[in-house]
Amino acid sequence: MLTRFRWLLYPLTATLGLLLIGAALALMVVLLAYPQLPSLDILTDYRPKIPLRVYSAEGELIGEFGEERRSVVPIGQVPDALKHAIIAAEDERFYQHSGIDYMGIARAALSNLTSAGRSQGASTITMQVARNFFLSSERTLRRKVYEALMAFKIENSLTKDQILQLYINQIYLGQRAYGFAAASRAYFGKNLKDISVAEAAMLAGLPKAPSKYNPVVNPKRAALRQAYVLRRMHELGYIDEATRMQSVAEPLSIRRDSSTTPSGGHLPADFVAEMARQIAVERFGDDAYALGLRVTTTIRRADQDAAIQAVRKGVFDYDRRHGYRGAETFVDMKDVSSDDDELLDDLLQDIPDAAGLNAAVVLSASPNALKVYKRGGEVLTLGADALKFAKAMLDEKAPAARRLRRGAVVRVMPDAKLGWTLAQMPEVEAALVSMDSNDGAVRALVGGFDFNRNKFNHVTQGWRQPGSSFKPFIYSAALEKGYGPATVEDDSPLVVSAGETGSQSWQPKNYDGKYDGPISLRTALAKSKNMVSIRMLRAIGPRYAQDYVSRFGFDAPRHPPYLTMALGAGSVTPWQMASAYAVFANGGYRVEPYVVSEITDNSGHVLARFTPRKAGDESLRVIDSRNAFLMDSMMQDVVRRGTATRALALKRSDLAGKTGTTNDYLDAWFCGYQPSHVAVAWIGFDSPRTLGRGETGGSAALPMWVDYMRHALKDIPQAQIPMPDGLLRIDAGHDNQGVPRSDLMYQEHLPPAPESLPEEPGGPASEGELQPGPPAQSPATIPAPAPRSPTGHIVPGEASIGLPPAVNRAIEQLPRPAG
């Protein structure tokens, strides 16, 4: 009998022997290799690289920097929906096996034999943890053995929940996001605890192939993978059929710009985040990117939202005033077979969205309608109302290189009335910064139209001519030299010699081309009269003014001591202008603007804190409180009846500021404040060119300021700067514009009492008498003085118009001061 089955016995014996030898060899490998496995300290004392994070004053994330975006969350804070989705997608027997799922291996082997070359893996979650922490992704038998051994070791050392927690926090999920918490913010802009079942299934589908199932890059493939995960969740009893169907149908809002936003922040404050990053790296070096530092800024969420909306609206409004420029570029449509062809997303891949402007490809065009494909698969039809802006570019006679036709790349943006409307990527830039005038805390900062398109921070880096927005500092200097708001200067044409300009002779003009003759300084500032500013600067001396403006924080070398300084021909940044205007707003103190209030480590220990010095600290005083009060009063008139009357839309009586427009309309500014809150708005081109005739500070920049302040001041009660001691009221009739010349000036700048002057024949001796006034809170009424020269002498001439005749005649007898 044995002889008969000898032919079968020998092979079986040989096979059994080989199996025994293999088992022995495997045991030897295990016995030799297991002790050589790396320590699990990296898992038991998990300290991942945590990026530098930047937060608003309220604690909302606005920026994230580092090679890896990562947030570590304990397993107890992970939603059940996400745990179930991960297990359904990756390892359904995770809580049953001991690191290696033999049933899963058998199932995968069978599937691989019957799937015509499509391989199916059998890695458990534990094996993936081993691979991510200790091994490479190479596909070799040796790596697989070590992976299995490490899985056994991990399972013997950690609980299942600890292993799942490591997996959830460590796995790479695309968009530079490591871990599901970081991925939730990157893809949905949400905290992990807030995601829906549909979003959890989308995230759980990513580990298999983050690049393939990325909903930003491949939304259709991602949706298919999501549907698979939801089906598996239903099959395993984690969700019912109704939930599955509802989740499949749920529209997901994907943050399509997350791949191009360096900060990865939810609040649009990338310029602030970059400033905070630079501060942290300067203090802590490159370690700042991995230590989990938390940088808290002074930015307020609501203010920042209002600022960015104001800037974008200002840019869009300017852009529409100057017409549609045509197609952004063209793409080759020859291989596009349908309106929802996946190739269309590929054609748009290198054209990023920005600031709410979505890239789209024109599918068909007619004079009254435009059909476009928007990135992500949506086909839009824009009607005549949405195309008014671009009507000229739909005409057959439009230039071929710009005409809207099939294949043209355009921009569309949401519209409250029309749903979607045609737009274009603007060429102009704008900026806005606001700060607390009492301590310098920056409340909002928008350094440009869109950080991803242009990272140049126009608030801190944009050196531009301030134009007439610089005049208040010249007026402030004049107040210290004897001028007052009621002082009269001549607004008539003049010619300035080359010696006074520093280059060539100059014949300046008023911006509106109108000249009003002798007018008060109050009216001159309100109407932004250039001739008055130049004459006043000539009287006080350009070198004195150059030194004086430096007390506001301006760099003296950037403001050469020539008469052109009167019109803002120097260089400033919006950051400097906000700090300087705060001096007027807070009563004469220079506070340093700052944007970072605190830096803490990952455990919450304070590493650095900025404690500001506040207005009221007399060591910070840079101008007389009377000067600040008078300048505030004069700049309130700029709003009430001058070049900034658009600000009256806010229906407040405590607003002050100054418009600024440079030569040829290259820059437009508005710098203004309420006593507690300063804001500066600017608009212009990076490579200076004209904004266009009529694009003044009042028409191009002021609307942004108004839109921002409408929000920033809505809960702030009206307030006025209290009048300080040392001011007396003068009363000298009206100027030639009919404006009463009842005004205030420094008590010590009044001219000598005229009792010794000859009495006016036929008139009472008291006509020109100076009456000593009561305390400044109840100012007396006295005649207006003439202005003073830099040496303190009364200057004869047209500036004395409005004084009593006896005083005028006496002044005419005085010698003119030299120069």
Token pair for 83 = 């745990």
Alpha carbon distances (Å) from 156 to 20, 41, 42, 664, 745: 27, 14, 15, 77, 86
Maximum CA extent, the chain: 160
The answer on pLDDT for 572 being more than 90 is: yes
Q: Given this model, what pLDDT does residue 688 score?
A: 92
Instruction: With H, G, I as helix, E, B as strand and everything else as coil, classify residue 65.
Output: strand
Span 45-60, average pLDDT: 83
Burial 783-807 (b: 16+ CB within 10 A, else e): bbbbbbbbeeebbbeebbbbbbebb
How far is Cα 529 from Cα 703, in angstroms, rounded to an integer? 22
The answer on pLDDT for 369 being more than 50 is: yes
Task: Read off φ and ψ for residue 681, nearest 5 degrees.
Answer: -120, 140
Q: Given this model, what pLDDT does residue 581 score?
A: 98
The answer on pLDDT for 763 being more than 80 is: no
Treating both helix axes as pointing N-terminal to C-terminal, what angle do 241-249 and 197-204 enclose, rounded to 10 degrees? Answer: 80
Span 671-689, average pLDDT: 96
Task: Read off φ and ψ for residue 493, nearest 5 degrees.
Answer: -60, 150
Q: Which residue has the higher pLDDT, 747 or 262?
A: 747
How far is Cα 339 from Cα 69, in angstroms, rounded to an integer? 36
Burial class (CB in 10 A: 0-12, 13-18, 19+), 223: middle
The answer on pLDDT for 400 being more than 90 is: no
Task: Read off φ and ψ for residue 146, nearest 5 degrees.
Answer: -65, -35
Q: Given this model, what pLDDT does residue 461 score?
A: 95
Q: Given this model, what pLDDT does residue 169 score?
A: 87
pLDDT in tens, 76-128: 999 999 999 999 988 888 888 877 776 766 665 555 455 544 444 567 888 88
Q: Given this model, what pLDDT does residue 116 score?
A: 46
Burial 632-670 (b: 16+ CB within 10 A, else e): bbbbbbbbebbbbebbeebebebbbbbbbbbbebbbbbb
Percent with pLDDT over 90 in the chain: 50
Give the helix/strand (H/E) hosting 64: strand 61-65
733 — pLDDT class (breaks 50, 70, 90)? low
Evaluate whether 470 touches 568 at the Cβ level (below 8 Å).
yes
Q: Given this model, what pLDDT does residue 752 score?
A: 62
Q: Given this model, what pLDDT does residue 683 score?
A: 98
294-297 and 408-415 beta bridge pairing: unpaired
Q: Which residue has the higher pLDDT, 548 or 368?
A: 548
Q: Given this model, what pLDDT does residue 143 score?
A: 60
From 331, 327, 321, select the one nearest 425 (Cα to Cα): 327
The answer on pLDDT for 662 being more than 70 is: yes
Burial class (CB in 10 A: 0-12, 13-18, 19+), 693: exposed
Task: Provide DSSP, 318-351.
Answer: HHHHT-----SEE---TT--STT-THHHHHTTTS
Token pair for 506 = 């100059």
Q: Which residue has the higher pLDDT, 679 or 140?
A: 679
529 — pLDDT class (breaks 50, 70, 90)? very high
The answer on pLDDT for 812 being more than 60 is: no
Burial class (CB in 10 A: 0-12, 13-18, 19+), 101: buried
Burial class (CB in 10 A: 0-12, 13-18, 19+), 558: middle
Active site (catalytic) residues: 90, 468
Task: Identify the top-confidence range among 41-50, 107-116, 565-574.
Answer: 565-574
The answer on pLDDT for 658 being more than 70 is: yes
Span 210-226, average pLDDT: 87
Span 757-786, average pLDDT: 33
Q: Given this model, what pLDDT does residue 4 score?
A: 57
237 — pLDDT class (breaks 50, 70, 90)? very high
Span 49-65, average pLDDT: 88
505 — pLDDT class (breaks 50, 70, 90)? confident
Burial class (CB in 10 A: 0-12, 13-18, 19+), 284: middle
Segments of 499-577 assigned E as strands: 517-520
Q: Which residue has the higher pLDDT, 52 or 810?
A: 52
Q: Which residue has the higher pLDDT, 91 or 46?
A: 91
The answer on pLDDT for 809 being more than 50 is: no
The answer on pLDDT for 519 being more than 70 is: yes
Q: Given this model, what pLDDT does residue 466 score?
A: 97
Span 762-777, average pLDDT: 31
Burial 190-210 (b: 16+ CB within 10 A, else e): bebeebbbbbbbbbbbbbeeb
Helical spans, DSSP H, in 267-420 = 270-284, 301-321, 343-347
Span 708-724, average pLDDT: 94
Q: Given this model, what pLDDT does residue 691 score?
A: 96
Token pair for 68 = 């890896």
Q: Given this model, what pLDDT does residue 19 score?
A: 60
Span 15-32, average pLDDT: 55
How far is Cα 807 from Cα 576, in angstroms, rounded to an integer? 43
Instruction: With H, G, I as helix, E, B as strand and everything else as coil, classify residue 378.
Output: strand
CA atoms within 13 A on the CB side of 83: 19
350 — pLDDT class (breaks 50, 70, 90)? confident
Evaluate whether 681 touches 669 at the Cβ level (below 8 Å).
yes
Low-confidence winner among 104-108, 205-209, 299-303, 562-566 (lowest mean pLDDT):
104-108
Q: Which residue has the higher pLDDT, 439 or 34?
A: 439
710 — pLDDT class (breaks 50, 70, 90)? very high
Q: Which residue has the higher pLDDT, 172 or 683?
A: 683
Q: Which residue has the higher pLDDT, 186 or 535?
A: 535
Span 582-603, average pLDDT: 95
Evaluate whether 179 touches 203 at the Cβ level (below 8 Å).
no
Burial class (CB in 10 A: 0-12, 13-18, 19+), 142: exposed
334 — pLDDT class (breaks 50, 70, 90)? confident
The answer on pLDDT for 17 being more than 50 is: yes
Taking 3-state DSSP, the helix, strand and coil percentages for the chain, each rounded to the nearest 5, stand at 40, 15, 45
Evaluate whether 226 touches 239 at the Cβ level (below 8 Å).
no
Instruction: With H, G, I as helix, E, B as strand and everything else as coil, classify residue 794.
Output: strand
From 343, 362, 359, select the one nearest 402 (Cα to Cα): 362
Q: Given this model, what pLDDT does residue 790 score?
A: 34
Span 791-795, average pLDDT: 33
Low-confidence winner among 153-157, 474-478, 567-571 (lowest mean pLDDT):
153-157
Question: What is the residue-averaged pLDDT of the chain?
Answer: 82
Residue 506: DSSP 8-state:
B
695 — pLDDT class (breaks 50, 70, 90)? very high
Token pair for 493 = 């044409």
Strands across the sheet with 606-609, in order? 61-65, 52-55, 294-297, 596-600, 606-609
Evaluate whether 615 touches 438 at the Cβ level (below 8 Å).
yes
The answer on pLDDT for 166 being more than 90 is: no
Task: Identify the top-confidence range among 285-299, 512-526, 627-641.
Answer: 627-641
pLDDT in tens, 413-438: 988 888 899 999 999 999 999 999 99
Low-confidence winner among 140-144, 371-375, 399-403 (lowest mean pLDDT):
140-144
Q: Given this model, what pLDDT does residue 215 score?
A: 87
